[in-house]
Structure 1
């Protein structure tokens, strides 16, 4: 399709070229041959009267003009993606739709894993793709690359509607044979004296909600090991006196498979509010309305949830 002499497919090629800075990788992403992508770059150069990408040694770098075009092209592609994907009609029994959801390993283990088992029966052809959160999550929602984000309230973007999905309590977890758990509670002195397993998230090594709250409270623990994921924490606790602060739902799920015990925090600790976001242009998308309903049911929030409008 052409618009004012421009083949609109070239905008997709432009976006891939700018993201990968490579003709071969852009071709691979779009399932094109390398000569076809080279031809697309040549046509882009001809239409815009600019080199777009310039080779410096073995690397390609975008021109200043190409950099200025990128936000506009991404916005156009995002709007087109939302327009194409959005439909008020959705039949889970027959749909072959794929949903991409940004969710942590904690949300995946505690909420999404049991939910996916239910969805496989109710919607056998629907596919759920779970994307790990990172510093680009907000951008991916903006561009329509992902359908939804599940994240603590502290990490939400103000650009899209947000609703409370569930609230979570944090607990102290450790090996089931740890004597500190014998009374069913952990003394504050034992908590502060013990070695701990900490967790950081994503390539930016961001701290978790629990660790952030402990910092704000001025409670400095002795961190012996820092893990890159909650998923590996059980292996770092079993057979040791170490402790870890984690979400109660996750601790319960882990205890089904590992010799892990948990107890309430030994002092008052804030409740975490886990939020759900979808693109502002897709709140009436029939498929996303269905998915949001499934998520609410899975977290015990079957009643309608009041939507929080984007902040100014």
Structure 2
């Protein structure tokens, strides 16, 4: 039986990720001709064309699409397996971590996390991307290192999770709004116009249903796709923005906030990652940094911290 060249697995992963011989060659620091020869070898080994011409570009075959995720997982697991487990040199670590976070998380917890990373691993880069859905695909395909959010039905069953803190919804209005003069009751909350942050998959915890049970309705004048935008509109108008308290603590300076006068449940924000990174020393270090940054900030704001 011929010995399989496992270097081809890494080449295949890059080719299927890039979908381009030229871009894959640049990542692997190979000339276009050398990359074309590598693709020819992969076609011979797999018995499939893998990438076929479509117009000016290449598209993956059905076999390539089928194997793409598995190939990527194998390569990532190999990197983790072969990396020295107990030799994490933070001072010289060069790595970029991608964190997909819920709206307001970067603004609230980012400064404390960045300060910690700069002190311990000055060559590490953090890239925050905004979370617009609950799909776990980014954790599976390796384009994301960490994610924060509420665990839901669309969270992959294989995803690891660590509870970070408990949050709750509050109302926020501009500092000189008439509602800032006293206690806000259910009728007051219903009487004002509202701006609501909504997008597919965002859990609004049944606020409208709770109001209807009291015989009240609220008028949603404006919807936006994030809590930052909701607060910006409320700051410059007579609208009430309903936002998570701890998520947005760094965004509400100068605004008046009040508890939602309804039995709205609290919710838990968790840190999520793929199990193939469990044993990665650098990833373990970053998870610890995030957990401690969230825990320290949560204690300062007075929100319960959960988990270990």
Whether TM exceeds 0.5 here: the answer is: yes
The question of 1:228 aligning with 2:225 is answered yes
Residue 197 (structure 2) aligns with: 199
CA contact (8 A) 2:193 2:220 kept: yes
CA distance in 2, matches of 1:49, 1:37: 18
Quote how far apart the aligned CAs of 1:169 are. Answer: 1.9
Over 3 Å counting, the alpha-carbon distance change for 1:54 and 1:117 in structure 2 is: same
Q: Distance in 1 between matches of 2:27 and 2:205?
A: 38
Are the aligned partners of 1:102 and 1:137 in contact in 2 as well (CA < 8 Å)?
no
Give the TM-score taking structure 1 as reference length. Answer: 0.78
Contact 1:77 1:143 (C-alpha < 8 Å) held by counterparts:
no
> Cα RMSD over matched residues?
3.3
Give the stretch that moved more between structures: 211-220 or 62-71.
211-220
Distance 2:211 2:11 in 1: 50
Q: Structure 1 residues 51 and 284, CA, compared in 2 at 3 Å: closer, same or farther?
A: closer
Task: Using the TM superposition, give the Cα deviation of residue 240 of structure 1 relative to its aligned residue in structure 2, in angstroms.
Answer: 0.7
**Structure 2: tracts of 5 or more residues without a match:** 300-304
CA gap of 1:271–1:282, structure 2 versus 1, over 3 A, is same
TM alignment of 1:9-88, pairs within 5 A: 9-27=7-25, 34-84=32-82, 87-88=85-86
Q: Is the 8 A contact 1:24 1:34 kept in 2?
A: yes
Match of 1:105, SS? coil
The answer (yes or no) to whether the contact 1:102–1:130 under 8 Å persists in 2 is: yes
Find out whether 1:208 has 2:202 as its counterpart.
yes
Contact 2:166-2:269 within 8 A present in 1 as well = yes
Partner of 1:244: 241
Does structure 2 conserve the Cα–Cα contact (< 8 Å) formed by 1:111 and 1:298? yes
Superposition deviation, residue 265 in structure 1: 0.8
Unaligned segments of structure 1, at least 5 residues = 308-312
**Aligned equivalents of 2:34 and 2:218: distance in 1?**
57
In 2: Cα distance, 1:232 partner to 1:48 partner:
50
8 Å CA contact 1:88–1:284 kept in 2: the answer is no
Cα distance change, pair 146–267 in 1 and its aligned pair in 2 (3 A): same
Decide whether the 8 Å contact of 1:81 with 1:144 is kept in 2.
no
Give the whole-Å Cα distance in 2 for the aligned partners of 1:111 and 1:69: 37
User: Are the structure 2 counterparts of residues 270 and 122 from structure 1 closer, same or farther at C-alpha, using a change threshold of 3 Å?
Assistant: same
Q: Does residue 273 of the first structure (1) align with residue 268 of the second (2)?
A: yes
Q: From the superposition, tell whether residues 266 and 96 of structure 1 become closer, same or farther in structure 2 (CA, over 3 Å).
A: same
1:287 aligns with 2:279: no
* Contact 1:177–1:239 (Cα < 8 Å) also in 2: no
Looking at structure 1, the residues matched to 95 and 205 of structure 2 have their Cα atoms a distance apart, in angstroms, of 37
Q: For 1:56-78, what per-residue CA distance to the aligned partner results, in whole angstroms no more than 9, with x for missing partners?
A: 33453322332333343233123
Question: After the TM superposition, which of the residue ranges 264-273 and 67-76 deviates more from structure 2?
Answer: 67-76
1-structure distance, mates of 2:4, 2:132: 35
Match of 1:130 in 2: 128
Aligned residues: 296
